[in-house]
């Protein structure tokens, strides 16, 4: 990667921060953390500043329309060209099906389009294995991720911008705290290492762990009625 600005949308995301630290390179390098104002976002910004990186923060949430997205990106990237954008946005804790689709899908798709218009060197989308095999138990999350995942793949083909779609399975984070860990579960640090290797190789899609892609193909051959309810 070159030494332009790095943007993490989802500045309080554990996986997003792990990926950022793997791809950031040596200080100083301009970093923007975008997300809803929170203690975790401020702590992440301070952690980066203490490591020698100049950091700006910006507000992002799913209600921003294309005009507001462009305005936010224009402001934070005014002095430094955008070279790397990491999109780590998503939530299973939405209050309605419509909100789940908006937060995980529609808003992310609009964000990806706004980012690609700025022609960065690399965009990394943290998608999900559930985008490829939606599950009824997390329908809004799955379908939203499916929309974002498909948008990223289309933009990669149409724009010429390098886009990496990351499809992890279960990741142990605050969002999944208290849930039973299924087979092939992983950690933010392992996701970050896989992402760094995939960026280096100019890949378009990476599964985490690598066996997850094969597992999804096998599951697609099994009638859903034969699977445990949580896997359908």
Active site residues: 141
* C-alpha to C-alpha distance for 192 and 215, rounded to whole angstroms: 21
* Residue among 26, 148, 163 nearest 84 (CA): 163
Residue with tokens 């790095």: 6
Nearest residue to 40 via CA among 69, 17, 74: 17
- HEC string of 82-149? EEEEEECCCCCCCCCHHHHHHHHHHHHHHHHHHHHCCCCCEEEEECCHHHCCCCHHHHHHHHHHHHHH
35: left (phi over 0), alpha (psi -120 to 50) or beta: left
Q: Point out which residues pair with 186 in neighbouring strands.
A: 171
Instruction: Output the six-digit token pair for 54.
Output: 């100049």
Spatial distance between the Cα atoms of 16 and 86, rounded to a whole number of angstroms: 7
Strands 122-126, 5-9: pairing is unpaired
Q: Looking at residue 226, what DSSP letter applies?
A: G
Is 175:127 a contact under the CB 8 Å cutoff?
Answer: no
């Amino acid at each position: 990667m070159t030494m332009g600005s790095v943007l993490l949308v989802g500045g309080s995301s554990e996986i997003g921060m792990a990926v950022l630290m793997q791809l950031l390179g040596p200080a100083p390098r301009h970093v923007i953390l975008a997300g809803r104002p929170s203690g975790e976002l401020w702590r992440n910004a301070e952690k980066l500043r203490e490591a020698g990186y100049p950091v700006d923060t910006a507000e992002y949430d799913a209600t921003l329309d294309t005009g507001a997205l462009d305005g936010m990106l224009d402001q934070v990237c005014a002095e430094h060209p955008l070279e790397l954008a990491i999109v780590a946005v998503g939530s299973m804790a939405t209050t309605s099906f419509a909100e789940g689709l908006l937060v995980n899908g529609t808003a992310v798709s609009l964000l990806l389009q706004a980012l690609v218009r700025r022609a960065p060197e690399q965009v990394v989308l943290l998608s999900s294995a559930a985008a490829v095999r939606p599950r009824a138990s997390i329908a809004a999350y799955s379908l939203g991720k499916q929309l974002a995942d498909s948008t990223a793949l289309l933009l990669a083909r149409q724009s010429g911008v390098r886009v990496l779609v990351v499809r992890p399975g279960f990741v142990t984070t605050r969002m999944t705290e208290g849930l039973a860990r299924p087979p092939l579960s992983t950690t933010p640090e392992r996701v970050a290492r896989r992402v760094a290797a995939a960026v280096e190789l100019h890949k378009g899609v990476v599964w985490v762990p690598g066996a997850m892609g094969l597992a999804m193909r096998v599951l697609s051959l099994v009638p859903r009625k034969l699977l445990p309810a949580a896997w359908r």
